[in-house]
Structure 1
Amino acid sequence: MQVSVETTSQIERRVKVQVPATEVDQAVAARLKDTAKNVRLNGFRQGRVPMAVVRQRYGRGVRNEVVGELMRERYVQAITQESLNPAGNPQIEPTVDEDGKDLEFVATLEIYPQIELNGIEGTDVERPVVDISDADVDEMIDTLRKQHATWEEVEREAADGDQVTIDFQGYIGGEPFEGGSAENHDLVLGSGSFIPGFEEQLSGAQAGDDTEIKVTFPEDYQAENLAGQEAAFKVKVHKVSAQQLPAYDASFFEQFGVEDGSEETFRAEVRKNMQREADKAIDNRVKQQVLEALKRVNDIPVPQSLVEQEIDGLKRQAAQQFGLGEDFDVSQLPNELFSEQGKSRVQVGLLLAEVIKVNEIDASDDEIRAKVEEVAQQYQEPGQVVDYYMNNEQLKNQIKSSILEDKAVDQLLEQANVQDVPMSYEEALQAAQQQPESDEGADDAEADETPSEDETKA
């Protein structure tokens, strides 16, 4: 076997392979001999069909099978021989495939980039410092009560915070448009769930009212055919409902696992959960800045095959997030929506892997268990969650990867200029969400890998 490698870009290689004709012919002859044993043709007993007939009828198909197998086998041997580290699957095309001639084929592949890692020395990183106040706890409790509120129909004009049940039909230029209608839709006024101006114009409406609302879709609206368009909506109001908050008592506290029904215990649990969210937000905000700095000083080429794999994963996440169902064909989602994010995530992954390799970062079993126990604290039966994780190698490896990544970020953080910045609880959560669009979701792995309560009991 003869092999030559052509460098076509920093990360693309064209591997040319030549396989002697004798090897191909021998492999084809052996396969035809095996095929002949099972051939059934009129006028011949099974296994007694002349080889010339077998070759005439099955020769081309058998050769195609053998050549396909040989190209895959010799490709693996070639990249091993040439010490190539492929990223994704190659494109393999035969260039000479004729009886009696040496088989020649070309494999075009991407390889992992060679990275000469640059540090982030001198980078300024802001680290939020959060002190959760009693007022923050009060606000969170108010939010929890609203989340568990019920709605009671009232006979009065709708006001901000009320829920109206409506039918509506939207028109642009006097013509109905797709997706612009609904029946018996519940809308909370002031929630901001509809386009600007829609909810405000329903303030003061009463059950039985028929009204027309005029709005303009935002210029950046996700449906391009509607962006910037003026629209009119005919609206029928069926009823107005007022929010009824649950009583602030032991029964309410018990819904959140506070078995003693004590307000003091409930507030302590709320504060603890808020602190956990704040700590996660702080870590995410710091991590975003570190990773952005790492990408900025290491502009490496990214294999498109890896980007495509990442895009496919992002599509599946999006389909799950929007409840499109397991049978939804994610290929319907355009790649352009995810390409920048996919490229950024691949770049970050390659760079972090290099940081881990260069610094010989590892995670012990004790560290993995400690992380699992931390994750398990958000469940009512932490022990079951710990057992579930520790008995699942895939989940353990995911946790280990998360630990390695955090250690890599900490290693990089030592090179940066870190400045503590006091923030309120809400400010810290908002700061963590203000990450570059290309990296949104990069910190969701831990959430994605967390099992449901039912899974831990399976």
Structure 2
Amino acid sequence: MNVTETLSDGLKRELDVVIPAADIAAKLDAYLADLKDRVRINGFRPGKVPTGHLRRMYGRTAMGEIINDLVTESVRQAVADRGDKPALQPAVDIDESKVEAIVNGEADLSFTMRYEVLPEITVGDLRSIAIERPVAEVSDEEVDGELQKIAESVRPFEAKDGPAADGDQITIDFVGSVDGVPFEGGSAEGVDLVIGSNRFIPGFEPQLVGAKAGDDTKVTVTFPEDYPVDTLAGKEAVFDVKVQAVAAPGTVAIDDDLASKVGLASLDALKDAVRSQLAARYQGASRQKVKRALLDALDEMHHFVVPELLLETEFDGIWRQLTTDMERSGRTFADEETTEEESKAEYRKIAERRVRLGLLLSHIGESNSLEVTDEEVQRALQREMMRFPGQEREVIDYYRKNPQALAAVRAPIYEDKVVDYVLELATVTDKTVSKEELLADPEETEAEAA
């Protein structure tokens, strides 16, 4: 194998690879010699089939396999010999006009391989990073508020004869239609609905105030412009509603009996569970905020060119998702007070940041021998299976047959390990904030500050 570098520009590399026809012929001879001892052909004793006959019968198929294997191995060997670390699998170009001659053993196998190498990364002084971690305490008032929500969720309702009022529960059958045509998912029977719960389309529930058991009524509403079903978004719909029953809310106390209804031994145990859930939620939000602050600091500290193909791949994914969401919601760039060109420039910067930080975190993890254990992956898969009760076997089979999907499970675990490693080196100071500030969307917070 002869390898000649034809391009070395920044991160881009291009190599011309030539494998002599004689080497390919030797591979074919070895292939046919092995095949000779295994193949069974009528008219010939085992191991006595003439090589020429095998070549006529299997030569072309064998050459296809040999050439494919040679290209794969040559690409791997060429990269290894140079000590390069390709950002993506090298692209291979073979002159199609020469393929027939190569297969017939009349020409050398020559091809061009193109790839980008990973950039050299010099990690800054991670100990110099100083960030704040926002934390919020769970107040007694918040616990009481959650207890009230739990009480509302198990509140009993008692049948009433009068008209339905706000807060009452009604049992209804309904059939929805757009332009007089019933639409999929728009019909149901025996649905319990608490007026004022805002479970249904905006404007639906208020029109049922005053309805009585046995009434037939029509409810007219307009689906939101951003409704996830494209055929219904922004459309006016009419629902024919049959009121089966009306019930008034009963009383419910926040006591040990409430706790028993949700499977706990006492009100104190319920309070502890609620406080723990709120604390876990706040800890998760705090983790996300401090992680973002850390990534911002790392991004500010490190500047290096990223592989163009990785950048384009990341940008294409972001842009595809953005345009799909805009089409679904019916919004335009003008609605967002921008242009397509400006948006592309903005999201390309986001894509570049993601790629750079991904390469940086990977480099830090590799340099410090950070690894994801099989046990950690299994725990993640267990959590995934819990999302699909009764389909655990299908979930496991899916990940077993899809290495890319399994890699997607492993990736966030690895990222968190690297983030934790860097946080241990950085100076992190806790800062007490309000619940609202902790849970606020980062972009909304930045907009308010601006």
Q: Which amino acid aligns with 2:234?
A: G
Partner of 1:21: 21
User: How far did residue 70 of structure 1 move?
Assistant: 1.4
Among residues 219, 226, 232, which one is paired with 1:213 in the alignment?
Answer: 219
Measured against aligned partners, the alpha-carbon deviations of 1:156-191 in whole angstroms (never above 9, x if no partner) come to 433344443333333333333344333334434333
User: How far did residue 51 of structure 1 move?
Assistant: 1.6
Specify every segment of 5 or more residues in structure 2 that has no aligned partner in the other structure, as ranges: 322-346, 380-406, 445-450
CA contact (8 A) 2:129 2:427 kept: no
CA contact (8 A) 1:110 1:303 kept: no
Give the 3-state SS of the residue equivalent to 1:234 in structure 2. Answer: strand
CA contact (8 A) 2:134 2:286 kept: yes
Query: Which aligned pairs between 1:67-86 and structure 2 lie closer than 5 A?
Result: 67-86=67-86
Q: Distance in 2 between matches of 1:163 and 1:236?
A: 14
Q: Distance in 2 between matches of 1:402 and 1:150?
A: 45
Among residues 406, 418, 423, which one is paired with 2:434 in the alignment?
Answer: 423
Q: Which amino acid aligns with 2:55?
A: R
Q: Which amino acid aligns with 1:213?
A: V
Among residues 187, 210, 221, which one is paired with 1:181 in the alignment?
Answer: 187
Q: Which amino acid aligns with 2:43?
A: G
Evaluate the alpha carbon distance shift between residue 64 and residue 150 of structure 1 in structure 2; reply closer, same or farther with a 3 A threshold: farther
CA contact (8 A) 1:145 1:245 kept: no
| TM-score normalised by structure 2 residue count | 0.66
Specify every segment of 5 or more residues in structure 1 that has no aligned partner in the other structure, as ranges: 315-338, 373-393, 438-458
Q: Distance in 1 between matches of 2:281 and 2:11?
A: 41
Partner of 2:207: 201
Partner of 1:277: 281
User: How far did residue 62 of structure 1 move?
Assistant: 0.6
Give 1 or 2 for the bigger CA radius of gyration.
Answer: 2
Q: Which amino acid aligns with 1:303?
A: L
Partner of 2:170: 164
Partner of 1:224: 230
Q: Distance in 2 between matches of 1:435 and 1:16?
A: 49
How many residues are paired up?
Answer: 377
Query: Which aligned pairs between 1:279-358 and structure 2 lie closer than 5 A?
Result: 279-291=283-295, 294=298, 300=306, 303=310, 307=314, 348-354=357-363
CA contact (8 A) 1:88 1:305 kept: no
User: How far did residue 118 of structure 1 move?
Assistant: 7.8
CA contact (8 A) 2:311 2:355 kept: no
Evaluate the alpha carbon distance shift between residue 353 and residue 36 of structure 1 in structure 2; reply closer, same or farther with a 3 A threshold: closer
CA contact (8 A) 1:363 1:404 kept: no
User: How far did residue 215 of structure 1 move?
Assistant: 1.9
Q: Distance in 1 between matches of 2:83 and 2:162?
A: 77
Give the 3-state SS of the residue equivalent to 1:35 in structure 2. Answer: helix
- Name which of structure 1's ranges 404-413 and 291-300 shifts more when overlaid on structure 2: 291-300
Among residues 174, 186, 197, which one is paired with 1:191 in the alignment?
Answer: 197
Q: Distance in 2 between matches of 1:190 and 1:211?
A: 18
Q: Distance in 1 between matches of 2:262 and 2:354?
A: 36
User: How far did residue 28 of structure 1 move?
Assistant: 0.9
Q: Distance in 1 between matches of 2:125 and 2:223?
A: 45
Q: Distance in 2 between matches of 1:212 and 1:304?
A: 54
Partner of 2:389: none
Partner of 1:31: 31
Q: Which amino acid aligns with 2:56?
A: Q
Identity of aligned residues (%): 34
The two structures, once aligned, show a CA RMSD in angstroms of 4.6
Partner of 1:406: 420
Partner of 2:241: 235
Q: Distance in 1 between matches of 2:90 and 2:25?
A: 25
